[in-house]
Structure 1
């Protein structure tokens, strides 16, 4: 259950990040590569993609960890828009652990959080990582795919503790899973890191908002307006944003 205290989530406009990117590249036009957004349910918008790439570039991220592979679109985004030396580790459920026989009412998939998550899991079992599979070999080589329930990850035992400077949480959207994934993310993170969540202020996955609004975060939580991206910057990145 949520803690009694309520965190203060700072709202910023997307242009706050874009202005910082422009300041980094005063002599050029900053660009990034992105696929046409998938028509499938559950993908990131173009604006959200720009926000994630901006955060990665502002921090010079090289080691990425993603909770929730799904179609692999965000995996592909991060692998494509990072240095050749960068690497993305992405995790999702083993397909054999997913109930593919059940089906939810189509209307509920866009209204109910449980029905939506069940739909996304079935889609992953059927087509998981398709965007990665279609990527050039050089991009695929930058990706490690794990098949594991994120709630069973042991960062120390699996040699993952303290290895990542960019972590994106977009797996299961129920309160307990968000809380567990966040706790694991803190163990995965280097001292200087970005931890970002998807579906903050989502009309469907309201547990993400409930968790973050009650989370006693170790750093300032920030929400990017007109997106469902919330993030925090730790260590030397904590003062990256202007006051």
Structure 2
């Protein structure tokens, strides 16, 4: 299915395209994945989005994964539990913030992207990545948490250049942050990789959509219908979807 609108160069595909690819890659297996009951907290992913994210990781056999935006750690846990035992997930979120930095009006957290991000920041500062803390030791050992502002991330100093085959951009949702995280994601990926964005076509975080619609010109970025997930494939994975387009 190829349904680019006049407003965007991003192509829309049905979720079943990825599921068909999974079946074709693992013809002798019943491919499942482990997922916890979705949290009622703001900022979580749907079950469909979780299945899409895991499918992308499985399709490229991801073993070195990076996540912009830890929050409660639910997606971190999803990736850690559904990748090979030797896989590593590095997840980055803001360092500890002072109470003055955390003050904001909560009245519009479900309608305003900036208020929503401020709420998520406060929640992360207060609770941390509780899903990771509650995970089994074998899963925790696959996860490395980094507390740093992604806008100040030095990819070279951290040793992240060309190190990851899967990068998930789901941190701050302001245009400038998504733009910077995307620039860094491209520097961090290996030749064969996937970059995934969350909150594309979100009714709250419209700056993610604005950025990606502009950024997609001249690129092969796909949106998975009925989700807020967009992704771009690189290297030998670029042709994965060709037979469906």
Residue by residue over 1:188-240, the C-alpha shift from the partner in whole angstroms, topping out at 9 and shown as x without a partner, is 11011100000000000000000000015674000000000000001111001
Match of 1:172 in 2: 172
Distance 2:185 2:102 in 1: 32
Offset at residue 185 of structure 1 (A): 0.4
CA distance in 1, matches of 2:50, 2:28: 23
- TM normalised by structure 1 equals 0.94
Q: In 2, distance between residues paired with 1:138 and 1:210?
A: 39
- Distance change >3 Å, CA 13–CA 99, structure 1 → 2: farther
1:223 touches 1:229 (CA, 8 Å); kept in 2? Answer: yes
- Say yes or no: does 1:148 pair with 2:145: no
**Is the Cα–Cα contact under 8 Å of residues 173 and 205 in structure 2 kept in the other structure?**
yes
Number of residue equivalences: 237
- Structure 2 residue aligned with 1:68: 69
* 3-state DSSP of counterpart to 1:28: coil
Q: CA deviation at 1:29?
A: 1.4
Residue matched to 2:115 = 115
Gaps of 5+ in 2: 1-6
Unaligned runs of 5+ in 1: 1-5
Return closer, same or farther for 1:187/1:101 CA change in 2, 3 Å cut-off.
closer
Asked if the contact 1:95/1:124 (under 8 Å) is kept, the reply is no
Residue 134 of structure 1 is matched in structure 2 by: 134
Three-state SS of the structure 2 residue aligned to 1:35 is coil
Answering whether residue 226 of structure 2 is matched by residue 226 of structure 1, we say yes
Residues 172 and 178 in structure 1, CA contact (< 8 A), matched pair in contact too? yes
Say whether residues 1:33 and 2:34 are aligned partners: yes
Cα pair 2:193 2:233 within 8 Å, conserved: yes
Alignment of 1:87 with 2:117, yes or no, is no
1:104 aligns with 2:105: yes
Q: Is the 8 A contact 1:7 1:215 kept in 2?
A: no
After TM superposition, the structure 1 stretch with the greater mean CA deviation from structure 2, 224-233 or 94-103, is 94-103
Poorly superposed stretches of 4+, deviation over 4 Å: 97-101
Task: Give me the whole-angstrom Cα distance separating, in 1, the residues matched to 2:232 and 2:209.
Answer: 14
What is the RMSD computed on CA atoms of the aligned residues? Answer: 1.4
Q: Report the more deviating stretch, 91-100 or 111-120.
A: 91-100
